Amino acid sequence: MSTPEINVELLEQYCSAYRNWGRWGVEDELGTLNHITPEKITEAAGLVRQGKVFSLQLPLDSKGPQTGAFGRVNPIHQMVATGTDHVEGAQDWPLGWGVADDTLFLFLQGGTQWDALAHIFHNGRMYNDRDARLVSSSGAKKNGMENQKTVVSRGVLLDMPLVRGVEYLEPGEAITSDDLDEACAQLGVEVGTGDIVLIRTGDMARRRDLPLWDGYSAGDSPGLSLLAAPWLADREVAAIATDTWGAEVRPNEIDGSFQPLHLVMIVNMGLLVGEIWDLDELADDCSQDGIYEFQLVAPPLVIPGAVGSPLNPQAIK
């Protein structure tokens, strides 16, 4: 079969073909997480054989990738009570008792995060044919992050640089359905219903120690092509996550568009999408033992009405 031309017509075709509106009922706010059954969770638990745990979270500190794009900044951690306060007598607690306390200001999608189904709109609608106006200054009345409060399944890592024999993918380098099939074949894994697919591009590893992350946030990057949409839909994956800021390839493949694959994945499929995941340590371990499947425990924070959430995902082998 010939490769389809990537244009607005193909985008609209995919939005229609892979639309899950009503599939799990008109009240549904879970989307593709419905693919995760009790049997799938039990299967995932059986993948824990070595007792190794990998945190996939980028630290929430001032050294993160945010440089002001979309108004986002890195987390701001502030102390409101300290040990120096205690020693200097600034705390009036009995019996020599002292305390430290602190706060954290952050953009919910400024670091390792999930996108809620209320995060993206298309022509005034969001997942399950809901009015975008249901997301107001008071938060999301529907499709909010609190609905995804339990995320546990079989995780699969597809290490694209390893598959292509390079250290990292270049900005603008796209990953298609054929590329994902090739990765599965080379790495010896299959992806099916209810799986969570982690797609490593090497972009985070390449940029994180460069000044201002070398334009990582909101800049050009490797990522999923629009042509990956059929693969995600046909395999009924529950979620995807990448080590890039926006999951899909940049520059975007359709002139004048912005993140077109998000319209297919989030708005129409109801797919849970994760971004800015630190996959490097896990990838190193997988390359050593040749095992690219694991239990993934990755619940967001329960923030009613939020359209995204930070998390500390755990891959357990």
Give the number of residues written for the chain.
Answer: 317
Mean pLDDT of 276-293: 98
What does the alpha-carbon distance between residue 182 and residue 146 come to, in Å, rounded to a whole number? 35
* Residue at 25 is within a domain: yes
In sequence order, what are the beta bridge partners of 174? 223
Residues 92 and 223 in one domain: no
Asked whether residue 190 is domain-assigned, the answer is yes
Question: Is there a single domain that holds both residue 134 and residue 207?
Answer: yes
Same domain, 228 and 84: no
Looking at residues 298-302, what average pLDDT do you find? 98
Q: How far apart are CA 11 and CA 226, in angstroms?
A: 8
Residues 51 and 182 in one domain: yes
Asked whether 268 and 20 are in contact (CB, 8 A), the reply is yes
pLDDT at 259: 97
Domain that holds residue 302: 8-69+107-316
Shared-domain flag, residues 207 and 97:
no
CB atoms within 10 A of CB 167: 10
How many domains does the chain divide into?
2
User: Domain holding 111: CATH number?
Assistant: 3.50.30.50
Reading the block at residue 83, the tokens are: 């040990």
pLDDT, position 2 = 78
Please give the structure tokens belonging to residue 280. 């490097």
For residue 1, what pLDDT is reported?
A: 65
Q: Which residues of 202-221 are buried (b: 16+ CB within 10 A; e: fewer)?
A: bbbbbbbeeeebebbbbbbb
Asked, for residue 146, whether it belongs to a domain, the answer is yes
Continuous segment of H or E residues that includes residue 242: strand 239-242
Note whether 96 and 229 are same-domain residues: no
Same domain, 23 and 136: yes
Domain-located, residue 3: no
What pLDDT sits at residue 135?
A: 98
Residue 24 located in a structural domain: yes
Tokens 């490593």 map to which residue? 200
Do 90 and 218 have their domain in common? no
| 99: its two tokens | 């305390």
Whether the pLDDT of residue 229 is over 90: the answer is yes
**Residue 146, Cβ neighbours under 10 Å: how many?**
18
pLDDT digits (tens, 9 = 90+) for 22-62: 999 999 999 999 999 999 999 999 999 999 999 999 999 99
Is position 2 within any domain?
no
Determine, yes or no, domain membership for 152: yes
- Do 177 and 195 lie in a common domain? yes
Which of 58, 84, 105 is the C-terminal boundary of a domain? 105
168 and 88, same domain (yes or no): no
Q: How far apart are CA 300 and CA 273, in angstroms?
A: 12
Q: Six-digit token pair at 68?
A: 């002001």
In a domain, 199, yes or no: yes
Same domain, residue pair 98 and 54: no
The stretch 104-123 carries a mean pLDDT of 97
Residues 136, 95 share a domain: no
